[in-house]
C-alpha cells in the first residue's frame, strides 16, 4: 500500500461553509498556514466562479508553495478561458475538472446523455493541453450514488483521454463506510489500471472521516480534506482527524510521523482565528474540552496511569490534560491536590466546593481551599489537620 496523498480544499470547499467567506488578505494568510504542513495538493479555488476568486488565483501565483496548487473548473469554454487566464503565471498547477458521477446528476441536473458529457470533458482537456497544460485530474460529483456500471463506464472513458487521477465524491454525505468501501473495492479492482483514485467526503451523516478511511483501506490513494472539517452544510472530512487516525493506527506505511502533530494543531487554531470562528469545544483533536475530564471514575484512573483513560495523547498535539472539578468529580482529585488535609475537612470542603456549581480547573483547588478555610473551618479543625499532617 502506497503512502496516502493529501489534497487540502480548505480555501475552496471550506470557504463554502456559512460564515467562511474569506477576503484576499485572509486567503493569503490561510495559504501561508496551510503550506507549513506537508500537504501534497492545495486547492486554491474556483477562478471562473467570481471576480474575487479570479483575482485571488492570479495573486496566488506569486506565493511559492511546497504543495502542488490546484484549481477547480467545469468542462465549459467559459470556465476554461477564465481559468487559463487566472493561472497563466503558474509554472506548474493541476486543473481539477468537475465531472458527473451519478445517473441522478446526469438525468436531473445536467440533462444530457452520458456520451455528450464525456465529449464535453474531452473537448475541455484538449483545450487545456493545447494551452500547454497537461496536469488534468477529474472529480466525479455525487459518485457515491452512481451505479458501479456508471462509474466503470466513465472511468474507462477518462482513462482513454489520458486522465490518470479520478476522485469519487460523496457530495451529499450519503454513504456509509461499508458502501463507500465496496465502491472503492470495485473501482480499484475492475477500473482502468492506469487510474489512481481519490476520495472526497462530506459529513452530513457524521461519517466523513470513517468513509474516507474506508475508501483508503479499499485502495484510494488520495484523500480530500479541510482543516477542522470546514465546508458547506455539515462540512468535509477533517484533515486533523485523518492524520490522527493514521498516526495512532499506523494504517499506512510511512504515513505516521509525516505530520508534526503540534504544528498541525497550531495551524488549525490560527486558521479558525483568521476566519473569526470559534472551534467547537468538543471537536476531536482541536476542541477546548477534548483533553479535559470531570468524571470522577476517569480522573481516578488518570491519576493512577494516564493510559487507563487516555488514548489520544494531549502532549502529541502540544496540548495539556485538564482535570475539571465539579459535582461529578468525587474526592480523588481533591485528595490528590490536598494530601495533608484530614478526611473530615476534605469531605466538608468537597460539599462546599460542589455547591458552588461551577467547573474548576484542578490547579485551582488550593486557592479555593484557602477561601474555604477562611470562611468555614474553625481553629480546632485546623489544629487537627495540622496534627494529621505531622504524622502523615
| Residue 112: CATH number of its domain | 3.20.20.70
Q: What is the pLDDT of residue 377?
A: 64
- 270 and 298 part of one domain: no
Q: Is residue 251 part of a domain?
A: yes
Domain assignment present for residue 319? The answer is yes
Q: What is the pLDDT of residue 392?
A: 43
Q: Quote the mean pLDDT of the chain.
A: 91
Give the percent of the chain with pLDDT over 90. 67
Among 214, 249, 275, identify where a domain stops.
275
Q: How confident is the model at residue 340 (pLDDT cuts 50, 70, 90)?
A: confident
In the predicted structure, residue 172 carries a pLDDT above the cut 70: yes
Supply the pLDDT for residue 384: 47
- pLDDT given for residue 1 in this prediction: 53
- Structural domain contains residue 363: yes
Per the confidence metrics, is the pTM higher than 0.85? Answer: yes
**What digits encode the pLDDT tens for the residues 239-258?**
999 999 999 998 787 787 89
| Residue 91 within any structural domain of the chain | yes
Tell me, yes or no, whether 250 and 135 share the same domain. yes
Is 212 part of any domain? yes
| 56 and 186 assigned to the same domain | yes
Domain membership of residue 364 as a residue range: 292-391
Q: How far is CA 193 from the centre of its chain?
A: 30
Domain count of the fold of the chain: 2
More confident call, 300 vs 188: 188
pLDDT in tens, 1-47: 578 999 999 999 999 999 999 999 999 999 999 999 999 999 999 99
Shared domain for 74 and 162, answered yes or no, is yes
Chain segment 344-384, per-residue pLDDT in tens: 888 888 888 888 888 888 888 888 888 888 887 655 555 54
Note the pLDDT of residue 45: 97
Please indicate, yes or no, whether residues 92 and 53 belong to a single structural domain of this protein. yes
Amino acid at each position: 500500500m502506497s503512502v496516502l496523498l493529501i489534497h487540502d480544499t480548505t480555501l475552496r470547499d471550506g470557504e463554502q461553509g456559512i460564515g467562511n467567506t474569506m477576503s484576499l488578505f485572509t486567503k493569503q494568510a490561510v495559504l501561508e498556514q496551510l503550506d507549513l504542513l506537508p500537504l501534497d495538493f492545495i486547492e486554491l479555488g474556483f477562478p471562473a466562479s467570481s471576480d474575487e476568486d479570479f483575482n485571488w488565483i492570479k495573486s496566488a501565483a506569486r506565493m511559492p508553495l511546497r504543495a502542488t496548487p490546484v484549481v477547480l473548473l467545469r468542462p465549459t469554454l467559459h470556465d476554461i478561458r477564465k481559468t487559463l487566464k487566472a493561472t497563466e503565471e503558474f509554472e506548474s498547477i493541476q486543473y481539477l475538472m468537475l465531472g458527473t458521477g451519478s445517473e441522478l446528476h446526469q438525468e436531473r441536473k445536467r440533462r444530457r446523455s452520458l456520451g455528450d458529457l464525456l465529449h464535453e470533458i474531452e473537448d475541455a482537456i484538449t483545450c487545456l493541453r493545447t494551452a500547454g497544460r497537461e496536469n488534468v485530474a477529474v472529480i466525479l460529483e455525487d459518485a457515491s450514488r452512481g451505479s458501479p456500471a456508471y462509474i466503470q463506464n466513465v472511468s474507462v472513458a477518462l482513462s482513454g483521454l489520458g486522465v490518470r487521477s479520478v476522485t469519487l465524491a460523496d457530495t451529499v454525505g450519503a454513504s456509509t463506510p461499508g458502501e463507500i468501501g465496496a465502491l472503492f473495492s470495485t473501482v480499484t479492482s475492475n477500473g482502468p489500471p492506469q487510474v489512481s483514485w481519490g476520495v472526497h467526503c462530506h459529513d452530513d451523516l457524521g461519517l466523513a472521516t470513517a468513509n474516507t478511511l474506508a475508501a483508503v483501506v479499499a485502495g484510494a490513494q488520495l484523500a480530500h480534506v479541510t482543516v477542522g472539517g470546514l465546508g458547506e452544510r455539515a462540512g468535509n472530512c477533517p484533515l486533523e482527524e485523518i492524520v490522527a487516525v493514521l498516526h495512532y493506527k499506523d494504517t499506512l506505511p510511512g504515513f505516521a510521523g509525516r505530520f508534526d502533530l503540534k504544528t498541525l494543531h497550531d495551524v488549525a487554531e490560527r486558521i479558525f482565528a483568521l476566519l473569526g470562528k470559534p472551534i467547537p469545544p468538543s471537536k476531536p483533536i482541536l476542541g477546548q474540552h477534548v483533553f479535559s475530564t470531570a468524571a470522577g471514575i476517569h480522573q481516578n484512573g488518570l491519576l493512577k496511569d494516564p493510559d487507563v483513560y487516555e488514548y489520544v495523547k494531549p502532549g502529541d498535539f502540544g496540548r495539556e490534560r485538564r482535570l475539571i472539578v465539579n459535582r461529578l468529580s468525587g474526592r480523588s482529585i481533591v485528595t490528590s491536590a490536598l494530601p495533608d488535609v484530614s478526611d473530615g475537612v476534605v469531605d466538608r470542603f468537597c460539599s462546599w466546593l460542589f455547591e458552588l456549581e461551577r467547573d474548576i480547573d484542578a490547579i485551582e483547588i488550593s486557592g479555593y481551599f484557602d477561601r474555604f478555610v477562611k470562611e468555614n473551618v474553625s481553629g480546632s479543625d485546623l489544629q487537627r489537620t495540622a496534627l494529621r499532617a505531622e504524622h502523615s
